[in-house]
Amino acid sequence: MFQRRIMIETQRLLSDPLAGITAKPDEQNMRYFHATIEGPTNTAYEGGVFHLEIFLPEEYPNKPPKARFLTKIYHPNIDKVGRICLDILKKKWTAALQISKVLLSIQALLAAPNPDDPLDNTVAEQWKQDEKAALETAREWTRKYAINN
């Protein structure tokens, strides 16, 4: 069942691509996906292309995938090693969700950071105390790490 589910999801991702998102399985391991998310328009991440890795545990779809940013990003819900604080990657996961939903949710998180549920407390504090400065830092990191890299 696991293999069939991954095949169906992979075919759906390739035949019906998501706007601003790519995802494809690794040639050596179909449980490991290479993904990119374009920074959403009118955000500090606009113009950036962010690389992620997604790993499907053996218990998938009963357990959530592991997703991590490989591109450095300044965001209150993403820590320094790229781990992501997102409810559907933890307690809100259900087997009805798919890789495409995870990627869309991560893209939405870029458009709407939530400093009240942080993974990086330092970034979250700056976001709360001086959002304008935090957004400028996020833009700077996007230019430095996610544009033409």
Domain that holds residue 46: 2-146
Q: Report the range of poorest mean pLDDT among 2-6, 31-35, 41-45.
A: 2-6
Residue type, 76: P
pLDDT tens-digit series, residues 74-93: 999 999 999 999 999 999 99
Residues 103-125 have a mean pLDDT of 96
For residues 107-126, give the mean pLDDT: 96
**Range 136-146 burial, b when 16+ CB lie within 10 A, else e:** ebbbebbeebb
Residues in the chain: 149
Catalytic residue among 23, 67, 85, 138: 85
85 among known catalytic residues: yes
Question: Could you tell me the CATH number of the domain that includes residue 41?
Answer: 3.10.110.10
pTM confidence score: 0.94
pLDDT score for 84:
98
Read off the DSSP letter of residue 41. Answer: T
For the chain, how many structural domains are there in total? 1
Determine the Cα–Cα distance for residues 96 and 29; give it in Å rounded to an integer: 23
